[in-house]
Amino acid sequence: MKLYSLVWGQSSKSTQSKIETHLDFQQCKNEYDSLKLIKIIREFVFKSDDQQYNYKAEDQAKRNYYNLRQTSNMTCQEYFKKVRNVVEVIKSLGGSICDPMHFKEELPSLPNAVYTDQQIEEAKERILDKTVAYGIFVRADRDRYGNNNNN
Protein backbone atom coordinates (compact mmCIF):
# COMPACT_ATOMS: atom_id res chain seq x y z
CA MET A 1 0.00 0.00 0.00
CA LYS A 2 2.89 2.37 0.76
CA LEU A 3 4.46 1.84 -2.66
CA TYR A 4 1.10 2.31 -4.37
CA SER A 5 0.54 5.57 -2.50
CA LEU A 6 4.06 6.77 -3.28
CA VAL A 7 3.74 6.05 -7.02
CA TRP A 8 0.25 7.56 -7.19
CA GLY A 9 1.34 10.63 -5.20
CA GLN A 10 4.30 11.25 -7.51
CA SER A 11 2.05 11.24 -10.60
CA SER A 12 0.84 14.57 -11.96
CA LYS A 13 -2.88 15.36 -11.95
CA SER A 14 -3.00 15.00 -15.74
CA THR A 15 -1.29 11.59 -15.55
CA GLN A 16 -3.67 10.52 -12.79
CA SER A 17 -6.64 11.53 -14.96
CA LYS A 18 -5.34 9.40 -17.85
CA ILE A 19 -4.64 6.45 -15.57
CA GLU A 20 -8.14 6.61 -14.11
CA THR A 21 -9.58 5.95 -17.58
CA HIS A 22 -7.79 2.59 -17.89
CA LEU A 23 -10.08 -0.45 -17.77
CA ASP A 24 -8.08 -2.12 -14.97
CA PHE A 25 -7.61 0.96 -12.83
CA GLN A 26 -10.56 0.51 -10.46
CA GLN A 27 -9.48 -3.02 -9.52
CA CYS A 28 -5.89 -1.82 -9.22
CA LYS A 29 -6.99 1.01 -6.91
CA ASN A 30 -9.21 -1.25 -4.75
CA GLU A 31 -6.38 -3.76 -4.25
CA TYR A 32 -3.58 -1.16 -3.95
CA ASP A 33 -1.80 -3.17 -6.64
CA SER A 34 1.50 -1.31 -7.10
CA LEU A 35 2.76 -3.53 -9.90
CA LYS A 36 -0.45 -3.12 -11.90
CA LEU A 37 -0.34 0.65 -11.36
CA ILE A 38 3.21 0.80 -12.71
CA LYS A 39 2.20 -1.31 -15.73
CA ILE A 40 -0.72 1.03 -16.44
CA ILE A 41 1.57 4.07 -16.17
CA ARG A 42 4.13 2.45 -18.46
CA GLU A 43 1.38 1.70 -20.98
CA PHE A 44 0.29 5.35 -21.02
CA VAL A 45 3.86 6.59 -21.27
CA PHE A 46 4.65 4.44 -24.29
CA LYS A 47 1.25 4.35 -25.97
CA SER A 48 -0.68 7.09 -27.71
CA ASP A 49 -4.17 7.25 -29.16
CA ASP A 50 -2.72 8.53 -32.42
CA GLN A 51 -1.79 5.53 -34.60
CA GLN A 52 1.24 7.34 -36.03
CA TYR A 53 2.71 7.68 -32.54
CA ASN A 54 1.99 4.02 -31.78
CA TYR A 55 4.26 3.07 -34.68
CA LYS A 56 6.86 5.52 -33.48
CA ALA A 57 6.68 4.21 -29.91
CA GLU A 58 6.96 0.59 -31.07
CA ASP A 59 9.88 1.46 -33.32
CA GLN A 60 11.64 3.25 -30.47
CA ALA A 61 11.05 0.34 -28.09
CA LYS A 62 12.46 -2.12 -30.63
CA ARG A 63 15.48 0.12 -31.20
CA ASN A 64 15.95 0.24 -27.43
CA TYR A 65 15.90 -3.57 -27.38
CA TYR A 66 18.36 -4.03 -30.23
CA ASN A 67 20.70 -1.30 -28.95
CA LEU A 68 20.70 -2.50 -25.34
CA ARG A 69 24.14 -3.75 -24.27
CA GLN A 70 25.41 -5.03 -20.97
CA THR A 71 27.96 -2.52 -19.72
CA SER A 72 31.00 -3.37 -17.64
CA ASN A 73 29.38 -2.00 -14.47
CA MET A 74 26.04 -3.79 -15.03
CA THR A 75 25.36 -7.03 -13.17
CA CYS A 76 23.75 -9.94 -14.98
CA GLN A 77 20.58 -9.40 -12.93
CA GLU A 78 20.42 -5.73 -13.92
CA TYR A 79 21.01 -6.63 -17.55
CA PHE A 80 18.30 -9.32 -17.57
CA LYS A 81 15.88 -6.91 -15.87
CA LYS A 82 16.52 -4.20 -18.48
CA VAL A 83 16.00 -6.71 -21.31
CA ARG A 84 12.80 -8.02 -19.73
CA ASN A 85 11.47 -4.47 -19.24
CA VAL A 86 12.10 -3.49 -22.86
CA VAL A 87 10.45 -6.69 -24.12
CA GLU A 88 7.44 -5.97 -21.87
CA VAL A 89 7.18 -2.43 -23.27
CA ILE A 90 7.17 -3.85 -26.82
CA LYS A 91 4.43 -6.31 -25.83
CA SER A 92 2.37 -3.60 -24.12
CA LEU A 93 2.44 -1.62 -27.38
CA GLY A 94 1.07 -4.64 -29.24
CA GLY A 95 4.41 -5.40 -30.89
CA SER A 96 6.75 -8.36 -30.77
CA ILE A 97 10.33 -9.26 -31.58
CA CYS A 98 9.04 -12.66 -32.66
CA ASP A 99 9.91 -12.94 -36.36
CA PRO A 100 7.51 -15.11 -38.44
CA MET A 101 10.45 -16.40 -40.52
CA HIS A 102 11.13 -18.85 -37.67
CA PHE A 103 7.67 -20.48 -37.76
CA LYS A 104 8.87 -23.11 -40.22
CA GLU A 105 11.42 -24.30 -37.64
CA GLU A 106 8.99 -24.20 -34.72
CA LEU A 107 5.79 -25.63 -36.17
CA PRO A 108 5.45 -29.32 -37.01
CA SER A 109 5.71 -30.15 -40.68
CA LEU A 110 2.22 -31.15 -41.81
CA PRO A 111 0.70 -31.71 -45.24
CA ASN A 112 -1.74 -28.87 -45.98
CA ALA A 113 -0.35 -27.17 -42.87
CA VAL A 114 -3.27 -26.02 -40.74
CA TYR A 115 -2.25 -25.15 -37.22
CA THR A 116 -4.35 -24.50 -34.16
CA ASP A 117 -4.20 -21.16 -32.38
CA GLN A 118 -2.52 -22.95 -29.47
CA GLN A 119 0.23 -24.36 -31.72
CA ILE A 120 0.86 -20.92 -33.18
CA GLU A 121 0.96 -19.23 -29.76
CA GLU A 122 3.33 -21.89 -28.40
CA ALA A 123 5.57 -21.44 -31.45
CA LYS A 124 5.56 -17.66 -30.92
CA GLU A 125 6.60 -18.12 -27.29
CA ARG A 126 9.47 -20.45 -28.25
CA ILE A 127 10.63 -18.01 -30.94
CA LEU A 128 10.46 -15.11 -28.49
CA ASP A 129 12.40 -17.06 -25.85
CA LYS A 130 15.10 -18.01 -28.36
CA THR A 131 15.29 -14.49 -29.79
CA VAL A 132 15.67 -12.92 -26.34
CA ALA A 133 18.20 -15.55 -25.23
CA TYR A 134 20.30 -14.99 -28.34
CA GLY A 135 20.09 -11.22 -27.91
CA ILE A 136 21.21 -11.45 -24.29
CA PHE A 137 24.11 -13.66 -25.32
CA VAL A 138 25.46 -11.54 -28.18
CA ARG A 139 25.01 -8.21 -26.40
CA ALA A 140 26.58 -9.32 -23.10
CA ASP A 141 29.62 -7.45 -21.79
CA ARG A 142 32.48 -8.36 -24.13
CA ASP A 143 35.15 -7.57 -21.54
CA ARG A 144 33.72 -10.23 -19.23
CA TYR A 145 32.53 -12.80 -21.75
CA GLY A 146 34.54 -12.12 -24.89
CA ASN A 147 33.22 -11.60 -28.40
CA ASN A 148 30.11 -13.78 -28.72
CA ASN A 149 29.47 -12.99 -32.38
CA ASN A 150 31.93 -15.54 -33.76
CA ASN A 151 29.54 -18.49 -33.89
Same domain, 29 and 83: no
Angle at 85 between CA 148 and CA 135, to 5 degrees: 15
pLDDT in tens, 58-69: 888 899 999 999
Same domain, 13 and 53: no
Same domain, 59 and 31: no
Same domain, 41 and 13: yes
Looking at residue 48, its pLDDT comes to: 53
pLDDT in tens, 107-117: 877 777 788 89
Query: What's the domain range around 11?
Result: 1-46
pLDDT in tens, 21-62: 788 888 888 998 988 888 888 877 766 555 556 778 788 889
Looking at residue 8, its pLDDT comes to: 86
- 68 in helix, strand or coil? coil
Same domain, 8 and 77: no
Same domain, 42 and 53: no
Give this prediction's pTM.
Answer: 0.63
94 φ/ψ sector (left φ>0, alpha ψ -120 to 50, else beta): left
Q: Which of 46, 62, 77 is the last residue of a domain?
A: 46
Q: Which of 46, 61, 79 is the last residue of a domain?
A: 46
Same domain, 136 and 84: yes
* Distance separating alpha carbons of residues 133 and 83, to the nearest angstrom: 10
Same domain, 40 and 112: no
* Distance separating alpha carbons of residues 130 and 136, to the nearest angstrom: 10
Same domain, 107 and 121: yes
Same domain, 64 and 4: no
Same domain, 23 and 86: no
Same domain, 74 and 115: yes
43 in Cβ contact with 95 (< 8 Å) = no
Number of structural domains found in the chain = 2
